[in-house]
Amino acid sequence: MSTPSISERLPVDREHALFLLREMLRIRRFEEKAAELYSLQKIRGFLHLYIGEEATGVGSMQAFAQDDAIVATYREHGHALARGIPARVLMAEMFGKATGCSHGHGGSMHFFDRSRRFYGGYAIVGGGLPIAVGLALADKLRDRQSVTACYFGDGAVAEGEFHESLNLAALWKLPVVFLCENNLYAMGTALARHQSQTDISAKGESYGIASSAVDGMDVLAVETATRQAVEFVRRGNGPFLLELRTYRFRAHSMSDPDLYRTKQEIEEWKKRDPLLLFQAELRQGKLLTDSDTPRIEAEVSAEIDEAVRSAEAGPWEPVERLLDDVQGPAAP
């Protein structure tokens, strides 16, 4: 697809451009650090990295307001950071500390933050979609103007819950933006090997849902498309299905030997690294100076180092609290 020059695109000013770049860099460096800490066994369990997909999370999250609700998946570090959850509480969660965003109960796959309406990472593929539909139903019934952002991957579109949720959201005209981050692989199974119709945005049509697809490596394109989708939904037109076409540079998880795709394919996609593309475009548009990137890198690096220090220093949840959050106090 041909891309218009930056001046023809979003009315993007230097401040916003540098913010987007910084947000993507924060995710990239956070994830690299997480991988390192995993190999040091500071982080255990499953770890699914977002590297390569930064533009989808950062670009789309700009379109959602404070009062909007976010539902994400087990690959949700990027969404959590872009939503504004501090890196230190996310890192602490992966360390299993009481200072983590879920008190060490959730780990990498289950970040939650009530104050930011971040309703969690869901680790059964497709399982978050019905939750998002229900959140949107609650907002509609309570006459709130909020919309719900529902993130999922291409693997989820094979689940019954995808189809049920699209149908129900359309039937009840609910304010949900379905954001499919299509990274071309359902764990190790390529899209063409698990979908009879590989154009995911086309699946919305059969439910009467407005849909579109966008280059998920282009942060500005993602932001523009998501803003349009959110505006459409907020006006009461019902849900929207937005397909964000992206690629993950790392394996599915830390235990994945990545045998199902070629190195050449990965290298080809890395030429479209969202960070490189955006920096090149900003330089071309004279919005980025030679000193900007090193300065932002240094600031991000300091933030991540502080997050690790803070996570290390954080206390463990006392074992005495093991059963405390299973159920709340009974009704009086």
Partner 1 sequence: MTKMTYREAVRAALRKALRSDPLVFLMGEDVGGYGGAFAVSHGLLEEFGPERVRDTPLSESTFVGAGIGAALGGMRPIVEIMTVNFSLLALDQIVNNAATLRHMSGGQFNVPLVVRMATGGGRQLAAQHSHSFEGWYAHIPGIKVLTPATVPDAYGMLLTALGEPDPVFIFEHATLYALEGELDEEAAGMNITRAAVRRQGRDVTLITYGGSLGKTLEAARDLAEADIEAEVIDLRALRPLDTPTILESVAKTHHAVVVDEGWRTGSFAAEICAQLMEKAFDELDAPVMRVCSEEVPMPYAKHLEDAALPQVKNIVAAAKQTVS
Binding positions for partner 1, rule: CB under 8 A: 69, 100-106, 110, 112-114, 119-120, 122, 124, 127, 129-139, 141-142, 160-161, 164-165, 167-168, 171, 324-332
Q: Find the shortest distance in angstroms from Cβ 51 to partner 1.
A: 25
Q: 102 or 201: whose CB is closer to partner 1?
A: 102
Q: 167 or 253: whose CB is closer to partner 1?
A: 167
Q: 68 or 292: whose CB is closer to partner 1?
A: 68
User: What is the spatial distance between Cα 169 and Cα 182, in angstroms, rounded to a whole number?
Assistant: 21
Q: 102 or 310: whose CB is closer to partner 1?
A: 102
Give me 299's structure tokens.
Answer: 């600031």
Q: What are phi and psi of 120, to 5 degrees?
A: 110, 160
Q: Are 57 and 27 in contact (CB under 8 A)?
A: yes
Closest CA to 61 of 89, 81, 88, 41: 81
Pairing of β 189-190 and β 185-186: antiparallel
Q: Find the shortest distance in angstroms from Cβ 285 to partner 1.
A: 41
Closest CA to 108 of 189, 191, 49: 49
Q: Find the shortest distance in angstroms from Cβ 128 to partner 1.
A: 9
Q: 54 or 93: whose CB is closer to partner 1?
A: 93
Element (H, E) at 263: helix 263-270
Q: What is the chain's Cα-based Rg? A: 20
User: What is the spatial distance between Cα 2 and Cα 173, in angstroms, rounded to a whole number?
Assistant: 34
Q: 277 or 311: whose CB is closer to partner 1?
A: 311
Q: 151 or 278: whose CB is closer to partner 1?
A: 151
Q: 138 or 158: whose CB is closer to partner 1?
A: 138
User: What is the spatial distance between Cα 211 and Cα 229, in angstroms, rounded to a whole number?
Assistant: 8
Q: Find the shortest distance in angstroms from Cβ 115 to partner 1.
A: 9
Q: Find the shortest distance in angstroms from Cβ 104 to partner 1.
A: 8
What are the angstrom distances between the C-alpha of 242 and each of 53, 101, 203?
A: 15, 28, 11
Q: Find the shortest distance in angstroms from Cβ 245 to partner 1.
A: 26
User: What is the spatial distance between Cα 323 and Cα 229, in angstroms, rounded to a whole number?
Assistant: 42
Q: Are 4 and 62 in contact (CB under 8 A)?
A: no
Q: Which residues pair with 182 in a beta bridge?
A: 245
Q: Find the shortest distance in angstroms from Cβ 94 to partner 1.
A: 14
Q: Are 70 and 119 in contact (CB under 8 A)?
A: yes
Q: Are 53 and 246 in contact (CB under 8 A)?
A: yes
Q: Find the shortest distance in angstroms from Cβ 75 to partner 1.
A: 17
Element (H, E) at 148: strand 148-153
Q: Find the shortest distance in angstroms from Cβ 306 to partner 1.
A: 22
Q: 124 or 298: whose CB is closer to partner 1?
A: 124
User: What is the spatial distance between Cα 203 and Cα 240, in angstroms, rounded to a whole number?
Assistant: 11
